[in-house]
Structure formats: C-alpha cells, structure tokens
Structure 1
Amino acid sequence: MSYSPRAVLDTLRIPVVRVPLRDTWGAWSPLHRKIVIASGLSPVQERCVLAHEVEHALADDLGCGVGLYAAHPQAIPQERRADTMAARKLISISDLASTAQWADDIRIAAAELEVTERMLRVRLHDLDGEGWPWPATSKTAG
C-alpha cells in the first residue's frame, strides 16, 4: 500500500483540479496537461481515480474514454490498460495474498487494501485463474 499516485503526479508536475462532474470521476487532459477529478470523492476513490489517470498521462494517451473521445477506436483498450496498470500498482501481490488469508468478502478486502471494490475486481481479473477466494460466503462454512 505504498504506491502514491499523488507523488507521481507531483514528480511529473501534473496538476489535479477538482470540479463537479456528473458522468465520470476523473479525466486526463493531454491538451492542458492536467487531471480533472470529481469533487467530493472519498480518499480511497480519489487514490484509485488518480492512479488510473496517471497511467493515461504516462502513456501519453489522447484522452480518456469520455465525451467525444469515447467513440475513438483506441479509447476502450486505453481504458483497460489504464485500469490494469493502476490496479497492479495499487495492489501488490504480497498485500493481496496477505489480505486473502483472512478477508472473506471483497468489500472487506478492498477496504483493507485501501482501494475501491472495482479496482480490486480489476486486479483479480488480471490474475484470473489464480484461485483467489472471493466471492466467498464464509471461511468457516466453506
């Protein structure tokens, strides 16, 4: 849990601007070289959104899969890559394995890992076939 997307953005000198957004939690603007995020996000939501947007910035993506850019043929692959790379940086294998030893629910695991459930699902999907225990009903009931 040591990855800090905010520290990466500071190093890259990319500002983060908070504005009211309705259709998304964040977006990378290559034209303005800044990241826009929705105001009112929780610290966990903000961390995950920033990690995703950092990946767009590092890849020099044309933008995010929102607005006019959503119809661009590269939008979906770029969004998947940004999600996957962000999830890998936010959730290390060792932290995931440690949490899997005791957490019997994806919500509890996401809270422990300080990520959104969606980001945890992205990471688990990235490890598809590895036999992770979620969703489990009970550790004692099997």
Structure 2
Amino acid sequence: MSLSQVLLLAHVGLAYRPTVVLDHLGIRVTRTWLRDTWGAWCSDRKTIVVASNLSPVQERCVLAHEVEHVLADDVTCGWGPLAVRLERAADREAARKLIAISDLAEVAQWAPDVHAAAEELQVTERMLQVRLHDLKGEGWPWPQGGSKTAG
C-alpha cells in the first residue's frame, strides 16, 4: 500500500489516527520523560520520542505534528528562522488533519468557547488555535480581541 493510500485510510478530523501513518512508515514511537518538550522526531533513528506524561489528546496532537516532520523529510529543526518555519508548517498541517472543517462547523454551533470546542474535537486548545489561525485568523467562531470589521 502506498503512502497516499495510507493517508486516505487515516482519514481526517476526529477519525485521524497519526499512529496508522507512523506504522505504515515504520517509524517507532518511544515514550520517556522529557523536560522541555512534548515530542521530537529523531530522523537518524527513525523514531519519534514522546513525553510519557501526556494525556491521550496531547499525545495524539504531538504525534500528528511529528508525522508532518516525517512527511516533510525534516532532518533537524535546529534554531532560528528555519526552525520557526518548520515548526509552524508541521503545526499547520497537523491541525488540518486533526480538525476537519465539517467537525469544526458542527462543534461551533453549540460550543461556548475554545476550551469546550477543543475538548469535543479531541485536540489541545493550542492546536485548535492553529487551525483557526489557518482559517485566516478571524478567531471564528469565538471572538478574540474584538471584531475585525468593527475594531
């Protein structure tokens, strides 16, 4: 089965399982105590290291982010502007897979705020914020800092 077929089977939104993609690619996931990050892609070892104290939602988001590093052939993130660009790209692509627009639109009809929406969408609030920003930063449907049209 090709990678594109696996990605199609992995679905998007609530049904997205980054572990399906990782299994197909032969990428090992190791859990251990990490001091200052939730996860890292070690390209030379074909391993993703994930903090052992994460909730299932946090781990799902971390794995989705790290899958994007794998798919982009990111060797190392390093420091500086390139690192920021790589991290933002991985977040954006992970958020697109984790949060389908149809799921977001459904939850937006009743969720009172970002916290409730993130919980229902099974993502971290940060990942939901990344997705909302990707949809042009309007903060839709929850206002953040005032209206773009009214100031």
* Structure 2, unaligned runs of 5 or more: 1-13, 145-151
Q: Which residue of 2 aligns with 1:62?
A: 75
Q: Which residue of 1 aligns with 2:115?
A: 107
Q: Which residue of 2 aligns with 1:48?
A: 61
What residue identity is the alignment partner of 1:57? V
| Residue identity (%) | 66
How far apart are the structure 1 equivalents of 2:137 and 2:82?
27
Q: Which residue of 1 aligns with 2:15?
A: 2
Q: Which residue of 1 aligns with 2:135?
A: 127
Runs of 4+ in 1 over 6 A off after TM superposition: none
Question: Is 2:51 the partner of 1:11?
Answer: no
Q: Secondary structure at the match of 1:27?
A: strand
Structure 2 contact 133–139 (Cα < 8 Å) conserved: no
How far apart are the structure 1 equivalents of 2:84 and 2:61?
18
The TM-score normalised by the length of structure 1 is: 0.87
More helix by share: 2
Q: Which residue of 2 aligns with 1:84?
A: 92
Distance change >3 Å, CA 131–CA 21, structure 1 → 2 = closer
